[in-house]
Structure 1
């Protein structure tokens, strides 16, 4: 029996290889389930990570949240319980042994549905916890993941069984060693869920300036409490969080469209192009034009 988890991971990795003949993130016929394959070490990619669960079957990945580094590989999973601006890089992959991963996105209401159907002891009054963590995958969770992925071979069962298996996966994550971080984010009125409302506001209005007092009012907290809990959840201050959103969106716009640097800087909320270029270089390691040229050459 001791080989069962290893065998299940192997079976899941073979399934991903069969279904993903090319590198990239592949949507599946199961809503919110994605299979990922990369045969090369990638450039660091900055994006907003939606609430999700991701397990690696082969290779290794590094994710940066603020200044915090998460490294994970086979047998580990990473959970993001709220939208977070992160930088991710596949750091171990090759043509013979590609990086393979399984990613399932979810919403706080889906987590709440699981909580409402169980007798979890809620911790609404506790300090908010980090909204991203890495953990070893437990056999019960891995078993549910394998059963969900196996449905890809029997599409007729997906409408009925996929929602049940997704609930089971969330249940086992909540039962895991860091489940409270996910639980807090879904519970109405908890410090973490109030920070989630602030995060949503910043993401939806990232290009606009704000006063910290306005954010504290959204969270129904004092300014000092907002700062403390926001950093507990995101590893950043609200200003740092907004800056990362602005710079990530600027990079996306520069890569996707033939826009002038000054136009992009203005569009994402900067009044000064020189300040934009300084902060862009600090975050991505190169000035905007150099970085975009380098990125395009890498992915040609």
Structure 2
């Protein structure tokens, strides 16, 4: 028998941010989305974007939680991180497709959230059964444009004299102004400890939740650093990939571009099993983070930029 779908019992997200229709009319995305992401900073940013688009959402921190969630709730779309503990995004997507075939269910769109946008990585996502992808760090314009291809939209009324709050204007996730693209295009020494332009975009998105998100980022780093340090001391390259990957994307989200660049290098070194080089990179990362942390704490104490 087919699994029973539970009735939705979720509050509607804010409808302040709306998509621009092709004829100049204001239209709003409609749907219930599952976000699968293990990094709390990345998760909070994406969830806020979806709420501003007028969508409702649930969250899961890995592929196993995702598979449990879809057993009890019907989702219109899944935003799936790739590298996660316990079960990664590609494995989870394969399981979703197997389940759909087993029970004769309608295919549910699964969109990859990935920091790796090279052709080979995209091909692996498609082979796993994913339908599309978006690059990290996720930008509101890019995400809205992508979701319009996969979710229905409805007319929405905006009262006269009231305008939607500004959503950060960004270029394509493959463009030169993308924070992670900047990280990849520059050496870590050339990057700022803290990029105020990226932070400005973050405050546009998160509004009054931005300061709390910065604190969450700082609170999350010690556990990541502990895992990195242990992996390097034990020479365990496989255990280094995931924490380095997590730090890379969350640091890019909060504007800690030098830390993000070094985390990217560390992830690459781990995949290549270059642990001596990783140990040197790790020392540089700790210095870069200390600089970024000082600036972030000052912003937190100030209550904003």
TM-score > 0.5 by shorter chain: no
Which structure shows the higher strand fraction? 1
Normalising by structure 1, we get a TM-score of: 0.30
